[in-house]
A and B are shown apart, each in its own frame.
Chain A
Amino acid sequence: MRQDNAVIETDRLGKVYSGRKGQVRALDRLDLSVQPGEIFGYLGPNGAGKTTTIRLLLDLIRPTMGQALIFGQDARENSVELHRRIGFLPGELNLWKNLTGDQVLDYVNSVRGRNDLPYARQLSERLSLDMGIRVRCYSSGNRRKLGLVIALMHKPDLLILDEPTNGLDPLIQQIFHDLMRETRAEGRSVFLSSHILSEVQAICDRVGILRGGQLQAVETVSALRSADFRWVTLRLREPVSPRLFDGLPGVSDVIQSSDGIRLRLVGDFDPLLRAVESAYILDIRTEEPSLEEIFLTYYGSHALSATSVEMAAR
């Protein structure tokens, strides 16, 4: 999906960190494009390279190979110009500890050479953030809200947000989602990283899945949702043996549950219905796979246990 007016376009972007313990290939030949007016979700487990990508886009670190274009301009050469049009929220947000929220915004505002304070005030009210408190006294969630205000206050054409909802309570997350949708409605773009699949599912148009520094897949959320498998639960009046479904095309993971028979179906319904036509069907329920499941499919069974633990922890 390459277009000339891409907001973000990376070309074999790569980063190798060299430290005392040798080299770490954090990002490997990333080819990615983000279109105007879309919310792009950047998904991956810990250490996948999401933050690395984001810091490359902001010219905080320099690529060991390839390049990134933002609004068609080199992210490195034109960083100062580009930063006028970008709002950034770092994954690990640190601000001037001795300043109050107001003073931080004042400083940011004057470095940008703009006057965005009235809108910043609106934003902080919307996020119910008290601006008179020193940064060191903010809770971590409130500090992130302040970070969001910094990123949003100048209404940038592109928002680059590293795990934006990390540490926000559900109510504020909802407000954040609204803000993102409003941003999109104004034709501006969002690039956000996340572990939280339901969030990506809720607000993103497309997702890129990154693992081990490599882009595994890029899909529209709607395509992923209509991915060609679904969970089917059949409730039958008389119990049937799960064996009945052996060898049926597209059917797998058959389990007998208290509800009836639950199975995974790929492709058409017909073979399944024919297999149970002798039974009296009380109910058929189908569920679309959650993005979690698609995510796990992409990640393979190897990552499954670790990720399930992470999911269970939420």
Chain B
Amino acid sequence: MTGAIFSHALRRNWRQILYWGLGMALLGFIVMWVIPDVDALQRTTEMLQAMPRPLLQFLNADDMAALATPEGFISIGFFSRAVLVFAVYAVSFGLRVTANEEDEGILDVLLSLPVPRWRVVVEKFAAYTLMFLIIVALSLGGLWLATSLTTLPVNMGRVLESGVAMIPVVLVMMALTTLIAVVVRRKATAVALTSGIIVGSYFIDFLGRAASGTAADSLRLVSFFNYYDFQAIIQTGIRIGDVVLLVVVTLVLLGGTVWAFARRDIGT
């Protein structure tokens, strides 16, 4: 029956939603906690400006203007970390789409039922996407709650936009994991390969930002982190073009997964 795999995946994982959501909300609280007041932020910014530029880049805080506002601080303190934490979500749930059950030999039973292979991929991916949306909503809720406990003037609209813009980059990572796991078949290899690509992308983006005009800068185009510029979003708002691009990439990766999965032997 359509939706059975989807709703089963949701039911089996609602605890995960809680853990991830509460964890991220906690991170939001901590970030808000360390912003004492706007003056202190200003002072921190001045102090940071005196620091050597590479060190600032390493701290992901090269953009002073962003840091000077509370939401800028949130952007660097929360979203720069959240996207990395969610990379772990993306890999671990990407593996659950087919790889884990194939590894455990369960797919033989599931696929002997009247269900086409593409539906296993699509329904599970949809379930883990919905779960992720809930987790992001919980995280933003945590940030909002933490903010409302302070007197800081925070531009919540921009914070929300940063959260929304983070969704497709995580979905790209999840779809990439799913595709690689379907193609390489060995779970350990898939994890290594995907993590390599994610870390590589992150560093290309990082180096490219640091050294504009270099080879790394032009390479940034292929790094999906390039399309989630949380500092720019805080200052100028969400970039619809980037979001659309990432969504399209997700769909292409998912299409590739379905294509490859329908074609191959299970569990060999």
Residues of A with Cβ closer than 8 Å to B?
17, 55, 58-62, 79-81, 83-84, 86, 88, 90, 92-98, 107-108, 110-113, 147, 150
- Which residues on B sit within 8 Å (CB–CB) of A92? 105
Pair B114/A80 contact, Cβ less than 8 Å: yes
Pair B265/A60 contact, Cβ less than 8 Å: yes
Pair A113/B4 contact, Cβ less than 8 Å: yes
- A16 → chain B, closest Cβ, in Å? 11
Quick one: which of B1, B109, B265 contacts A110, CB cutoff 8 A? Answer: B1
Nearest CB in chain A to that of B267: its residue: A60
Q: Give bound CA distance, A147 to B113, whole Å.
A: 13
5 tightest A-B contacts by CB? A113-B1, A94-B105, A88-B112, A61-B265, A110-B4
Pair A60/B111 contact, Cβ less than 8 Å: yes
B interface majority secondary structure: loop
Q: How many A-B residue pairs have CB under 8 A?
A: 75
- Which residues on A sit within 8 Å (CB–CB) of B110? 111
> When each residue 1-13 of chain B gets 1 if its CB lies under 8 Å from chain A and 0 otherwise, what string results?
1001101100010
Pair B112/A86 contact, Cβ less than 8 Å: yes
Quick one: which of B4, B114, B266, B268 contacts A107, CB cutoff 8 A? Answer: B4
Residues of B with Cβ closer than 8 Å to A?
1, 4-5, 7-8, 12, 104-116, 263-268
- Which residues on B sit within 8 Å (CB–CB) of A80? 114-116
Pair B1/A90 contact, Cβ less than 8 Å: no
Pair A111/B1 contact, Cβ less than 8 Å: yes
Q: A83-B114, A111-B113, A111-B115 are in contact. Are A61 and B268 (CB under 8 A)?
A: yes
- Which residues on A sit within 8 Å (CB–CB) of B4? 107, 110-111, 113
Additional pairs, 20, CB under 8 Å, beyond known A80-B114, A110-B4, A111-B110: A17-B268, A55-B266, A58-B111, A60-B111, A61-B265, A79-B116, A80-B116, A84-B114, A90-B105, A90-B112, A92-B105, A95-B106, A95-B109, A110-B1, A111-B4, A111-B5, A111-B113, A112-B113, A113-B1, A147-B109
Nearest CB in chain B to that of A99: its residue: B12
Q: A95-B106, A111-B4 are in contact. Are A61 and B266 (CB under 8 A)?
A: yes
Q: Give bound CA distance, A79 to B7, whole Å.
A: 23
Q: Write 14 A-B pairs (CB below 8 A) sorted by A numbering.
A: A55-B266, A60-B108, A61-B265, A62-B264, A80-B116, A88-B108, A90-B105, A90-B108, A94-B105, A95-B106, A107-B8, A108-B109, A110-B8, A111-B4
- B124 → chain A, closest Cβ, in Å? 12
Pair A96/B106 contact, Cβ less than 8 Å: yes
- Which residues on B sit within 8 Å (CB–CB) of A111? 1, 4-5, 8, 110, 113-115
Q: Give bound CA distance, A9 to B71, whole Å.
A: 68
Q: Give bound CA distance, A7 to B165, whole Å.
A: 54
Nearest CB in chain B to that of A150: its residue: B109
- B177 → chain A, closest Cβ, in Å? 21
Q: Give bound CA distance, A90 to B109, whole Å.
A: 7
Nearest CB in chain B to that of A88: its residue: B112
Pair A60/B1 contact, Cβ less than 8 Å: no
- Which residues on A sit within 8 Å (CB–CB) of B1? 110-113
Q: A110-B8, A111-B1, A111-B115 are in contact. Are A94 and B266 (CB under 8 A)?
A: no
Q: A90-B108, A94-B104, A94-B106 are in contact. Are A108 and B268 (CB under 8 A)?
A: no
